[in-house]
Amino acid sequence: MITTVCMNPCYDKTASLTSLKPGEVNRLKDVRVDIGGKAINVAIVLRRLGVEADCIGCLGEADESSFLQLLQKEDVALSYIRVPGQVRTNLKLLDDESHSVTEFNEPGPTLSPEDLNAFIELLKAKTVDSSCVVFSGRLPIGCESTTYQQCMNALKGKKCVLDAAGKSLLHGIKEKPYFVKPNLPEMEAIMNRELRTLRSLRDAALFLMEYGAQNVIISMGKYGAMYTNGQKTLFAPALQVEARSTVGAGDAMIGGVLMGLDKGAPMEEAFRYGIAAGAASVMTDGTQLLRPDDFHALVPKVTVQEV
């Protein structure tokens, strides 16, 4: 069992329009609402790829029932604490003319220190039989940047994966997660400079390993992805697919890697599954994540080279 941790889930409302006109009335079309949150996305991808996965999170008590009904359709079990407020809604507007995505993300409910303590106790109780625990996504208001570090510290001996940004990432990797998956902008923000060569990316990844990460994957969108364990560094160019939406591609990549690890593949081979899963995800509209058939068709097309 793989358990994902989504402390700030959301509704992803996706709509398209002919051309976004700031300051004017914009007519939306093709509006759809999906459940979201990075760790929930990872759990959904795992389930679609045949891996047993569940999720732990926090839900605003005002609309928990409607959220659970949507989640039930994906066959993902959610254990959670109730917190005051509503599940946040993130609006994603797809501009048909520019093919760009503009996002408006709500902050979500606030967690008190008592809520956080209750969450950590739930986390410890629900991950006893988990082979891996994935921490991913934005923290709720009220949570310090050390929150993921606190959570992983409470799970001593568990294999953990961390997908976070900024101080949350730098604090979290002190707990030696099995792998971390920042994207290119997140790595550039940490290093405070542009990273435009494979060597500079490798050096940045090694910097994270000095902090404690055991393995590092850097996702770079249309430029591909890089993996290193400190001894070997691999680069995989992006697969050439028809990109419909990049939303959730990084989450799908984590799901693909974890699927490979669950099958007993070494990390280097699991990296290939991650590349295929990320590419399969961008082939779907909005926030719909990957289709298993697309994923399996793409796996043989992944190429990697040592850096």
pLDDT of residue 122: 98
pTM for the full predicted model = 0.93
For residues 161 and 256, the answer to whether their CB atoms sit within 8 Å is: no
When pLDDT is averaged across residues 47-57 and rounded to a whole number, the result is 96
152-206 residue pLDDT tens: 999 999 999 999 999 999 999 999 999 999 999 999 999 999 999 999 999 999 9
From the number of C-beta atoms within 10 Å of its C-beta (0-12, 13-18, 19+), residue 209 rates as middle
pLDDT of residue 286: 66
When pLDDT is averaged across residues 48-53 and rounded to a whole number, the result is 96
pLDDT of residue 55: 97
Fold (CATH) for 2-19+31-306: UDP-N-acetylmuramoyl-L-alanine:D-glutamate ligase (3.40.1190)
For residues 227 and 278, the answer to whether their CB atoms sit within 8 Å is: no
110-152 residue pLDDT tens: 999 999 999 999 999 999 999 999 999 999 999 999 999 999 9
Give the other-Cβ count within 10 Å of 239's Cβ: 18
pLDDT band at 306 (very low <50, low <70, confident <90, very high): very high
Among residues of the chain, what percentage have pLDDT more than 90?
A: 80
For residues 133 and 159, the answer to whether their CB atoms sit within 8 Å is: yes
Domain ranges of the chain: 2-19+31-306
